[in-house]
Amino acid sequence: MTFDPEIFFNVLLPPIIFHAGYSLKKRHFFQNLGSILTYAFLGTAISCIVIGLIMYGFVKAMVNAGQLKNGDFHFTDCLFFGSLMSATDPVTVLAIFHELHVDPDLYTLLFGESVLNDAVAIVLTYSISIYSPKENPNAFDAAAFFQSVGNFLGIFAGSFAMGSAYAVVTALLTKFTKLCEFPLLETGLFFLLSWSAFLSAEAAGLTGIVAVLFCGVTQAHYTYNNLSLDSKMRTKQLFEFMNFLAENVIFCYMGLALFTFQNHIFNALFILGAFLAIFVARACNIYPLSFLLNLGRKHKVPWNFQHMMMFSGLRGAIAFALAIRDTGSQPKQMMFTTTLLLVFFTVWVFGGGTTPMLTWLQIRVGVDLDEDPKEEPSSHQEANNLNKSTTKTESAWLFRMWYTFDHKYLKPILTHSGPPLTTTLPEWCGPISRLLTSPQAYGDHLKEDDVECIVNQDELAMSYQEQSTLPCSPPARLGLDKKASPQTPNKENIYEGDLGLGGYELKLEQTPGQSQGN
């Protein structure tokens, strides 16, 4: 039985990647964004180079042992194998993390790294595949190298822009039309435009996986706020189901391919080298980068987190899809066979050993991902102050500006929330401001401390109510930090659209004399 590899990239992978972006827990993600980007970009590059160098050494040993002909396996082939094996896919570990409610920081670091790491590995694999020195394939060609680096940056940036652009178009359509009155049509349009981001990027020579990832993130941040209640529920359930179905189809086919693929090449030395290479590369990725990150983080990445991240470097659907896309030559067939074995081994052994490892490393479980992860009962105020300092140190220097711009301009343009543009844009932009501002925005108060609330989430003490199990219970009383103003009942819900909240609501405390805002 054969299966067209392009089906993986055009049918099965887009729902998986889109769901990862659409279900992203933005609050924890953006708090740790600097660390996540470091692991995803720099860590993937380190992993690719280390795997490539180790495998090149084993290839030379295989040539000396007579198992390979000299010239069959170039250094670029080893780097190609390193790039596809750098795509971690800890779906099994994350599923266990979700069920056990593992510490939110660890979950976010691992989930965020795996989401962006997939996109980086795919673009990196393509950039290496088009690296073509004019003379000796094993020689370093500076012009070809910089051309590949330029291709990587250009493809990644172009894919990001295209995916975000489709999400912006969807947000504007759902804001300025009456689609909310037709939930089925609204859900269908949402799905088609999101899929179009992938197809358009592929047609333009970009990477559709990167485009659909950032399309999902942007859709969750803006478009989700404009959808009707029915469409919000349908889109979440639709993409969750498609993600579940696609992952199961891929893993089923992996098991089938192990026995039905006609051109397997099992080489013990190459397989041994690959096993050694992925563990060494993961260690060179996690531990040095964590050490560097801890130099600038007040809330350090502890050793047990680092060990768990090292242990969670599973390979899965992305590595398999990249390997099966090209099996025309002997090196590629050997890579595909080895990739299959590595995927099965890491999923069975490391996925199965996740729960014992959590116990052995004494990592907290039973923690709500949306609760304050660092609050200590004995010193509540000190914990809050520590979190504020930590968050400001790690993210405020960049994201304070981003959230200010987002709250004052992007949110009012693309959604019904935020301050009216007539209060944030210059007076000469009056006609455009009135045209783009939603009538609902005029009833909302300008939230001066929106940046503080997003960057420093611990200024709000949160409590949640699960409507499905407690439909008639009154909402829990919520506390406000002393620095947050209690006189702003109609403020924008800054977590609106965060799909990680599931069926929970975020509410602000009301003083006895206040009436609830809409």
Give one DSSP letter per residue of 274-338, joined into a string.
HHHHHHHHHHHHHHHHHHHHHHH-SS---HHHHHHHHHT--B-HHHHHHHHT---SHHHHHHHHH
pLDDT of residue 302: 86
Average pLDDT of the segment spanning 340-359: 85
State phi, psi for 471 to the nearest 5 degrees. -70, -25
- Whether residue 379 contacts residue 117, with contact meaning beta carbons closer than 8 Å, is answered with no
pLDDT of residue 133: 59
For 5-361, CATH gives 1.20.1530
pLDDT digits (tens, 9 = 90+) for 442-466: 665 444 434 333 334 333 333 333 3
- Whether residue 424 contacts residue 495, with contact meaning beta carbons closer than 8 Å, is answered with no
pLDDT of residue 272: 92
pLDDT of residue 176: 86
Residue 329: HSE in the Cβ half-sphere, 13 Å Cα cutoff = 7
* Angstrom distance (rounded) from CA 50 to CA 39: 15
pLDDT digits (tens, 9 = 90+) for 40-55: 889 999 999 999 999 9
CA angle 261, 265, 266 (to 5 degrees): 115
SS (H, E, C) 408-457: HHHHHHHCCCCCCHHHHCCHHHHHHHHHHCCHHHHHCCCCCCHHHHHHCH
pLDDT digits (tens, 9 = 90+) for 264-284: 888 888 899 999 999 999 999
* Angstrom distance (rounded) from CA 454 to CA 388: 11
3-state DSSP assignment of residue 460? strand
pLDDT of residue 397: 56
pLDDT of residue 31: 74
**Crossing angle (nearest 10°) for helices 229-260 and 183-203:** 50
- Distance from the Cα of residue 127 to its chain's centroid: 21
* Angstrom distance (rounded) from CA 87 to CA 124: 10
Dihedral sign computed on CA atoms, order 10, 16, 22, 26: negative
Lowest-confidence segment of 88-97, 128-137, 350-359, 452-461 by average pLDDT = 452-461
Closest to 372 measured CA to CA, from 458, 305, 452: 458
- Distance from the Cα of residue 448 to its chain's centroid: 29
Average pLDDT of the segment spanning 22-26: 77
pLDDT digits (tens, 9 = 90+) for 312-340: 888 877 888 888 877 777 888 888 889 98
Average pLDDT of the segment spanning 78-100: 81
- Distance from the Cα of residue 331 to its chain's centroid: 31
pLDDT of residue 466: 36
pLDDT of residue 138: 60
DSSP-based helix, strand, coil % in the chain, nearest 5: 70, 0, 30
Average pLDDT of the segment spanning 188-209: 90
Average pLDDT of the segment spanning 68-77: 77
Q: What is the mean pLDDT of the chain?
A: 75
List CB contacts of 310: < 8 A, sequence separation 6 or more: 282, 283, 286, 287
Per-domain residue ranges for the chain?
5-361
pLDDT of residue 383: 39
Percent of the chain with pLDDT over 70: 74
Average pLDDT of the segment spanning 162-179: 90
Closest to 324 measured CA to CA, from 278, 377, 277, 257: 257
Please name the amino acid found at residue 387.
N
* Angstrom distance (rounded) from CA 290 to CA 267: 35
pLDDT of residue 46: 92
Give one DSSP letter per residue of 110-129, joined into a string.
HHHHHHHHHHHHHHHHHHHH
- Model pTM score: 0.73
* Angstrom distance (rounded) from CA 492 to CA 294: 34
Per the structure block, which two tokens stand in for 109? Answer: 């670091």
Place of tokens 């990027």: 201
- Whether residue 257 contacts residue 340, with contact meaning beta carbons closer than 8 Å, is answered with yes
Q: Look at residue 218 and tell me whether its pLDDT is greater than 70.
A: yes
pLDDT of residue 369: 53
State phi, psi for 242 to the nearest 5 degrees. -65, -40
